[in-house]
Structure 1
Amino acid sequence: MFRLDNDNLRAIILMIAASSAFAMKDGFVKSFGGLYPITEILSAQYTFQFLLFLPLLLIRYGPSKIFPKKLFLQLLRGISAIIAVAFFYYSISNIPLADATALVFISPLVITALTPMTFGDKVGVRRWCAVIIGFCGILIIIKPGFEEINTGTFAAVAAGIIYAFFQIITRKLSDEEVPLVTAFFTSAVGCVIANLFLLNNFIIPSPVDGIIFAGIGLLVAVGQLSLILSLATAPPVVVAPFGYSTIIVAIAIGYFVFGDIPDLIAMTGIIILILTGIYIAIRESKSEQKRGRIQ
């Protein structure tokens, strides 16, 4: 168990703030209802992130840190990030926000399943059981055989799988790269890719929508910074479970803004997924403590 001292409490608040910012950003994206191309939304998001992280990086570390030590892995991380986000934005345009958000949380299950191959770490029986139960939760949310599966469902699952690889790369970078450098380089890669695809597919937003675009960028930046500060303030075993507050906020936004109410079957799957994800996060953090990765 962890002691709820001031640092832990601050880290938990930051994680909840990050999760809430991400969920609110997703609500804004869904509110466009497919009016703007995904590339335009991605362009606004990543350009805003880039313009925020660049001065922060220069002020904190100077120009030398702009060029990362692990360039290839940083490129892979940036590419995987924008692909995962693109799939997710497509999904929330086609299925309820809560369902899409929950399905993306397949990523901890995928990471755990791939751990023996990617890191050479042993996964115990209890974590394997949690992975299997978690995948059952995913199937309950999808409800295969009971209704036609929307392409948005496949997109959300794809986003979660790609996000798992994004997190694996992040973990491989964590020992050698400064978190702010990694966040900046991911925003730079996303900014370049999104704007390249935007060149022939741009719709001039209305003044109100322009403000929403700025809000999306701001919420992403706030979420990213809060996440970085949270993980820097307390161990993952303390803060990781509170990352699932994203799903709770997404359910609230879906209900109050879009009138989407998850049915009992979907809620059962979501609860199973949250509980197994929290269990895996706690077990993984304890395993890392035993290996001496968390001081």
Structure 2
Amino acid sequence: MSALDLCRLAGTVFLAVTLVVTGDTCGKLLTQSGVDPFIVAWTRFAIAALVLWPLARMQWQELGPMKDWRVILRTVFIAGGISSILTALETEPIANVFGAFFIGPIISYMLAVIFLKERPSATHTVLLAVGFFGVLLVVKPGFGMTTGTLFALLAGTFYGCYLFMTKLLAGAMRPTRLLMSQLLIGTVLLTPFGLSSPMPVNETGVWLLIIASALTSAAGNYLLVIANRTADASLVAPLVYTQLISATVLGVVVFGDWPDTIAFAGLFLIAASGLGSLATRRSP
């Protein structure tokens, strides 16, 4: 891949993750105003499914493979991750939540080593260890860890399992079908929770935020699908760490949340781990 192509890919991924963080910023505004996190998660899946269905160009007969237990379990993980991260955002700064959330790639790495017998390079292992140390600085286990931080770690754990299941299904389903499967199955899974939660009534601002949260998140995930279709996932994955930049900026601009010195150091290490991984993959 040429330097120009890499710059285009980086720009696409950065736009994608910024849209995802924007969706979570809307989600934080909603949960802080009293909207149940399950309502936000449920509507995010449902609205995104409606909007992206025409773009995915799926036929009804393509829904058959969604009965695969691996596809369903993968969706359970991402639905649990989104619900958990929205719960964490009720009380925690966005940057800190995403810092804790990045335990996900480490979980995925461990599962791949245990179940798929993968043997990553020593350099990759060291970089992941650096990222894990950064996560520890953000969450401060035993030194001020909060309930919100625990939910962020739970979200990251769910996400790591989701990444592992995605790797298991690689090649079995095209990316757009995988995306639509998680949206459709996620909508069904979260419907009982969404319907049992109090819905906002006659609150135009709330519904606008719900729609914005769903659409920006859907657009971000769709761009990530496009990025993964044009480049190897191993090249795209490290670029996702730029999400920390968007999370920090939006946290400061929208909520005035500055990470403390220790958390900021942790965020820096996490980002350095991701970008270092990108550099090693670019090496001949």
Matched, 1:15 2:13: yes
Q: TM-score, normalised by structure 1?
A: 0.88
Q: 2:237 aligns with which of 235, 240, 248?
A: 240
Greater shift in the superposed pair: 206-215 or 241-250: 241-250
- State how far apart, in whole Å, the 2-side matches of 1:156 and 1:240 are: 20
What is the SS of the residue equivalent to 1:68?
helix
Q: 2:194 aligns with which of 198, 205, 216?
A: 198
- 2:19–2:217 contact (8 Å) kept in structure 1: yes
Give the Å deviation of 1:94.
Answer: 1.4
Q: In the alignment, which residue of structure 2 is the partner of 1:52?
A: 51
Aligned residues: 282
- State how far apart, in whole Å, the 1-side matches of 2:83 and 2:266 are: 24
- 2:104–2:160 contact (8 Å) kept in structure 1: yes
Q: In the alignment, which residue of structure 2 is the partner of 1:89?
A: 86
Q: In the alignment, which residue of structure 2 is the partner of 1:293?
A: none
What is the SS of the residue equivalent to 2:145?
coil
Matched, 1:185 2:181: yes
- State how far apart, in whole Å, the 2-side matches of 1:204 and 1:111 are: 37
Q: TM-score, normalised by structure 2?
A: 0.92
Give the Å deviation of 1:13.
Answer: 2.1
Gaps of 5+ in 2: none
Q: In the alignment, which residue of structure 2 is the partner of 1:29?
A: 27
Give the Å deviation of 1:162.
Answer: 1.1
Give the Å deviation of 1:171.
Answer: 1.2
Superimposed CA distance per residue, residues 225-275 of structure 1 (whole angstroms, 9 cap, x where no aligned partner)? 101111111223543332122111111111111111112111111111111
Gaps of 5+ in 1: 290-295
Greater shift in the superposed pair: 191-200 or 177-186: 191-200
Same amino acid, percent of matched pairs: 23
What is the SS of the residue equivalent to 2:257?
coil
The 1:145–1:72 alpha-carbon spacing in structure 2 relative to 1, beyond 3 Å, is closer
Give the Å deviation of 1:5.
Answer: 3.5
- 1:137–1:269 contact (8 Å) kept in structure 2: yes
Q: In the alignment, which residue of structure 2 is the partner of 1:166?
A: 162
Q: In the alignment, which residue of structure 1 is the partner of 2:3?
A: 4
Runs of 4+ in 1 over 6 A off after TM superposition: none
- State how far apart, in whole Å, the 1-side matches of 2:250 and 2:282 are: 34
- State how far apart, in whole Å, the 1-side matches of 2:112 and 2:184 are: 28
What is the SS of the residue equivalent to 2:186?
helix
Match for 1:187: what amino acid? L
What does 1:81-160 align with in structure 2 at a 5 Å threshold?
Answer: 81-146=78-143, 148-160=144-156
- 2:100–2:153 contact (8 Å) kept in structure 1: yes
- 1:237–1:286 contact (8 Å) kept in structure 2: no
Give the Å deviation of 1:282.
Answer: 5.5
